[in-house]
C-alpha cells in the first residue's frame, strides 16, 4: 500500500515525505498542514502486488486546502471511480490526504 510505504520512508528519515493522513470520515488532520493546496491520492492493498497491478487505474487530485466541501466531493469521486474500476472490491482501498508540494523543474 502506498500509504504504508510512505509512512515507512518518513519514519526512516533521509527522504522528505510531505505530511499525510488516511481519510476516515474526518478532515481534522488538515490543521497540521502548512501548504495551501493538498493532494488526494489513492492507496490500495493490491496496487502493486506480484499477482496483479491496479496502479494504472487510480488518480490523484489537487485541491485547495481550505475548501472542505470540494475536498469531500473529490474524495467521493475517488471512491466511486475506484470502486467501479476494482469491481466493487473496495476493502483495502484508502484515500490519502497529503500536503501538496509543487515540483519545479529547471
Mean pLDDT of 2-13: 64
Q: How many CB atoms lie within 10 A of CB 97?
A: 22
Strand partners, 62: 39
* Angle value at C-alpha 63, between 29 and 24, nearest 5 degrees: 35
Residues 6+ apart with CB under 8 A from 72: 27
pTM of the model: 0.77
Of residues 63, 66, 42, the one with CA closest to residue 54:
42
Q: How far apart are CA 27 and CA 66, in angstroms?
A: 11
Position 103 confidence tier, pLDDT thresholds 50, 70, 90:
confident
Alpha helix ranges (H) inside the chain? 2-12, 68-85
Give 39-91 pLDDT, tens digit per residue: 998 877 665 555 666 555 667 899 999 999 999 999 999 888 887 877 766 67
Per-residue model confidence (pLDDT) at position 60 = 87
% of residues, the chain, pLDDT over 70: 68
Position 14 confidence tier, pLDDT thresholds 50, 70, 90:
low
Average pLDDT, the chain: 80
Amino acid at each position: 500500500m502506498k500509504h504504508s510505504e510512505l509512512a515507512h520512508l518518513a519514519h526512516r528519515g533521509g527522504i522528505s515525505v510531505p505530511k499525510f493522513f488516511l481519510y476516515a470520515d474526518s478532515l481534522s488532520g488538515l490543521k497540521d498542514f502548512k501548504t495551501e493546496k493538498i493532494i488526494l491520492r489513492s492507496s490500495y492493498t493490491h496496487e502493486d502486488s506480484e499477482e496483479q497491478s491496479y496502479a494504472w487505474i487510480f488518480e490523484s487530485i489537487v485541491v485547495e486546502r481550505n475548501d472542505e466541501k470540494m475536498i469531500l466531493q473529490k474524495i467521493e469521486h475517488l471512491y466511486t471511480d475506484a470502486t467501479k474500476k476494482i469491481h466493487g472490491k473496495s476493502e483495502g482501498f484508502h484515500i490519502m490526504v497529503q500536503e501538496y508540494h509543487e515540483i519545479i523543474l529547471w
